[in-house]
Amino acid sequence: MSELKQCGFTLIEVLISVFVLAIGVIGSAGMQLTALRTSQQSAFQSAAIALASEIADKMRINDRQLKLADNVNPFLDIDYQAAKDPIATSAVNCYAANCSAEELAKFDIDEWTARVKTALPGARVRICRDSRPWDSTAGALTWTCTAAAANPLVVKIGWQGKGRNPDGNAARDPKNPFPPSMAITVAPYTQ
């Protein structure tokens, strides 16, 4: 009796190896997509921190406006929504002319909100006095503010991230479309 030598692969072995290879490729593509989304959100977070720090510094520098009563302080009037609000432009360019404290505040706010609009998708910014920006029952930051003169100034920034809906959009609630992604307290410079 002679033994037959088997040469090559059978069709089933080839199909199994192609299937295993396809699973590996799909897994690595999913990891790449997750890495890209995480990188993008990290870039948005970094931009938001830089923007919040910038406006906090501008507020501290223009302390004449910061010391005004809350109802006339132009920095406490900021509730900007990039999706709805147009980009405002100042009548005076404070880079080229001497500006009063009021004109400088308006110029800084207008320039800053324009940068917010270009840096963060569907951004919203609110600057207000708030003693509790974190809502422990919701487990998130809130846009509402507790306006009292003793409360600290808080810069709240949020943006539309990628949601879990099939089209990639975030779920939207008309009353609270998305919570702030970050909030920083503005402490005045010591004197």
Higher model confidence: residue 175 or residue 150?
A: 150
Answer yes or no: is 178 within a domain.
Answer: yes
Q: What span, in angstroms and rounded, lies between the C-alpha atoms of 91 and 104?
A: 11
pLDDT of residue 9: 67
The residue range of the domain holding 100 is: 11-186
What does the pLDDT average to over 54-78? 89
pLDDT of residue 168: 45
Average pLDDT of the chain to the nearest whole number: 85
pLDDT for residue 177 is more than 70: no
Answer yes or no: is 143 within a domain.
Answer: yes
pLDDT of residue 28: 94
3-state secondary structure of 3: coil
For the stretch 140-172, pLDDT in tens is 899 999 878 788 999 999 998 765 544 444 555
pLDDT of residue 166: 43
For the stretch 19-36, pLDDT in tens is 999 999 999 999 998 888
Pairing verdict, β 124-129 and 79-81: antiparallel
Answer yes or no: is 2 within a domain.
Answer: no
pLDDT for residue 174 is more than 60: no
For the stretch 90-140, pLDDT in tens is 888 898 889 999 999 999 999 999 999 999 988 999 999 998 999 888 888
Cβ atoms of 141 and 183 within 8 Å: the answer is yes
Number of domains in the chain: 1
What does the pLDDT average to over 60-69? 87
Q: CB neighbours of 49 closer than 8 A, spacing ≥ 6?
A: 182, 184
What does the pLDDT average to over 52-57? 95
pLDDT of residue 146: 86
In the chain the beta strands, taken as DSSP E runs, fall at 79-81, 124-129, 134-135, 140-141, 153-158, 182-186
Answer yes or no: is 141 within a domain.
Answer: yes
What does the pLDDT average to over 49-64? 93
Answer yes or no: is 4 within a domain.
Answer: no
Answer yes or no: is 6 within a domain.
Answer: no
Answer yes or no: is 3 within a domain.
Answer: no
pLDDT of residue 4: 63
Answer yes or no: is 37 within a domain.
Answer: yes
